[in-house]
Amino acid sequence: MGRAGAKKATTSRKVKRAQKTDAERVAERAIAIGVPPEQVGGLVETKVVDLSGELGGKPMSIATVLLNRGGTAVERWIANDKAGLFEEPQQRAIRYTQALWSRADGNLRAVDPARDVVDQAVEGLSQQEALDELGRLKDGMPRRYWDVYENVCRFDEEAGVAGSRIASNSRSAIDAAKTTVAFTASLIAQWRRL
Cα distances (angstroms) measured from residue 178 to each of 149, 169, 173: 9, 14, 9
pLDDT at 154 over 80: yes
Average pLDDT, the chain: 79
Domain match, 131 and 54 both: no
Query: Against a cut of 0.85, is the pTM above it?
Result: no
Give the residue among 144, 140, 104 at the shortest CA–CA distance from 122: 104
pLDDT at 111 over 60: no
Which of 18, 39, 69 is the last residue before a domain boundary?
Answer: 69
d(CA 100, CA 82): 28
pLDDT band for position 102 (50/70/90)? confident
Count Cβ atoms below 10 Å from residue 67 Cβ, excluding itself.
13
Task: Tell which wins on pLDDT, 16 or 147.
Answer: 147
Task: Tell which wins on pLDDT, 76 or 37.
Answer: 76
Domain match, 107 and 188 both: yes
Domain count, the chain: 2
Domain match, 19 and 91 both: no
| pLDDT at 156 (0 to 100) | 85
Domain match, 79 and 120 both: yes
Largest CA distance in the chain: 85
Domain carrying residue 41: 3-69
CB neighbours of 22 closer than 8 A, spacing ≥ 6?
Answer: 44, 45
pLDDT at 56 over 50: yes
Domain match, 80 and 16 both: no
Which of 19, 37, 69 is the last residue before a domain boundary?
Answer: 69
**% of the chain residues with pLDDT over 70:** 75
pLDDT band for position 176 (50/70/90)? very high
Reported as a single tens digit per residue, the pLDDT across 71-83 is 788 888 888 888 8
Question: 112-126, 141-155, 167-181: which range is least confident on average?
Answer: 112-126
Give the residue among 99, 100, 75 at the shortest CA–CA distance from 86: 75
pLDDT at 35 over 90: no
Domain match, 113 and 64 both: no
pLDDT at 34 over 70: yes
* Most confident of the following: 45-49, 74-78, 96-100, 120-124: 96-100
| pLDDT at 133 (0 to 100) | 92
